[in-house]
Amino acid sequence: MLTHLIVLGLLSAPSGAGIGPVIATPDRTASMAIIQPTASRPNNIPLGAVTWSQPYDPGDHAPYAISFKDLLDEGETIASIDAIKVSSSAALLGISVDTAAAYAPIIDIAGDKIQLWFLVDQSAWESAAFAAAGVQVAITVRVVTSSAPAKRYERTAVLTVRQL
């Protein structure tokens, strides 16, 4: 049910998202570029969406990060996470963003990236969709910055989910 609310845009991360150290490794960090590439993507994934280099195994529970550093001006930080949406194809496959207290999305202490933890419904861990190359799903994040007036950035990152 939570996943469906996120997909419909009815649920988003609270604007008072926690702040803490991002522990996602560099291969689990997607860096948003000022000028994004325009290569076409499958599954209705927006042009220019950045892909995490580390695939996600359905049984994993590990942090992934999105860096907005290149989009922020000097001294500007991420003030809040306005929304996080998983694509409808992700929701149908049981993929969601963990919102439990210890795993809820956070803003890095430096204020230039966010961290999320993904979940795949345990009943789907062995799904044929995750075999071989797996699937690519879109995760869209909207953040608000500390600038005056505040800026808002909405960017999409691509998560490859496959058996590792």
- Locate 136 and state its tokens: 């690519």
Q: Could you tell me which residues are beta bridge partners of residue 51?
A: 158
Give me the domain span that covers residue 143: 2-161
Rounded to whole angstroms, how far apart are CA atoms 42 and 147? 35
Looking at residue 132, what DSSP letter applies? T
Question: Cα–Cα distance between 86 and 8 in angstroms, integer?
Answer: 9
Convert the pLDDT of each residue in 93-140 to its tens digit. 999 999 999 999 999 999 999 999 999 999 999 999 999 899 999 999
- Please check whether residue 146 is in contact with residue 78, taking contact to mean a CB–CB distance below 8 angstroms: yes
What pLDDT does 103 receive? 95
End-to-end Cα distance, the chain: 27
**92 token code pair:** 């149908």
Check: CB of residue 138 under 8 Å from CB of residue 66.
no
pLDDT of amino acid 14: 45
Radius of gyration in angstroms for the set of CA atoms belonging to the chain, rounded to a whole number: 15
Give the tens place of pLDDT for each residue, 22-71.
877 787 787 777 665 555 555 667 777 888 999 999 999 999 999 999 99
Please give the tally of structural domains in the chain.
Answer: 1
